[in-house]
Each structure stands twice: as structure tokens, then as C-alpha cells.
């Protein structure tokens, strides 16, 4: 089952990277994952969750700034 989740995750990440978050419809996302619609929804229950999942995976791949102060990150005055 982990292989299917990894396949879905990789497909969603590719589709969103290629098309952005607004453009791809469910069929485009399904085709990118290579699974049936039923299987896609079994692992990822909604399009919103698909977007969140792709963002989480993408964020996990980004290097973390170990020296960043969490109290000031994002504060650009």
C-alpha cells in the first residue's frame, strides 16, 4: 500500500508542478497518478487534500534554515 501512496504522491506533485494548483481537474490529476479514480479517492479523499498533500511533500523536500529565528521568520520590515 505504501507503493501506491508513493505513486499517487509523486503523480500529484508532478501534475501540480506542471499545471499549477488551479488548472488541473480531477481527471488530469488521476491520469498523472496512474491509478483509478476510486483508488485516488481512497488514498486522498478530496482535491483540497491533494493540494495540501503536494504542498506538504514539497515542503519536506525544501532545505531548512537551521539558524532561522522562528519569531522573526516572514517578518520583512
How would you write the pLDDT of the chain (77 residues) with one tens digit per residue? 789 999 999 999 999 999 999 999 999 999 999 999 999 999 999 999 999 998 888 776 545 555 555 555 555 54
- Residue 40: the pLDDT is 97
Report the number of distinct structural domains present in the chain.
Answer: 1
> CA angle 54-57-63, nearest 5°?
135
Structural contact between residues 13 and 54, judged by C-beta atoms closer than 8 angstroms? yes
> Phi then psi for 17, rounded to 5 degrees?
-65, -35
Provide the domain limits for residue 55. 2-61
**CATH code for position 13:** 1.10.10.60
What's the predicted TM-score (pTM) here?
A: 0.72
- Asked if the structure places residue 66 within a domain, the reply is no
* 73 assigned to some structural domain: no
Triad 5, 54, 22: Cα angle to 5°: 125
Q: Tell me whether residue 35 is in a domain.
A: yes
Does 67 map to a domain?
no
In the block, cell 525544501 appears at 62
- 14 Cβ contact partners less than 8 Å away, ≥ 6 residues apart: 32
Is 22 part of any domain? yes
With respect to residue 34, please indicate whether it lies within any of the assigned structural domains. Answer: yes
pLDDT at 60: 60
Amino acid at each position: 500500500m505504501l507503493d501506491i501512496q508513493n505513486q499517487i504522491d509523486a503523480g500529484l506533485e508532478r501534475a501540480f508542478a506542471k499545471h499549477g494548483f488551479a488548472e488541473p481537474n480531477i481527471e488530469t490529476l488521476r491520469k498523472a497518478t496512474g491509478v483509478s479514480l476510486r483508488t485516488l479517492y481512497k488514498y486522498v479523499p478530496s482535491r483540497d487534500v491533494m493540494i495540501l498533500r503536494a504542498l506538504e511533500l514539497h515542503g519536506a523536500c525544501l532545505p531548512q534554515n537551521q539558524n532561522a529565528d522562528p519569531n522573526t521568520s516572514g517578518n520583512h520590515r
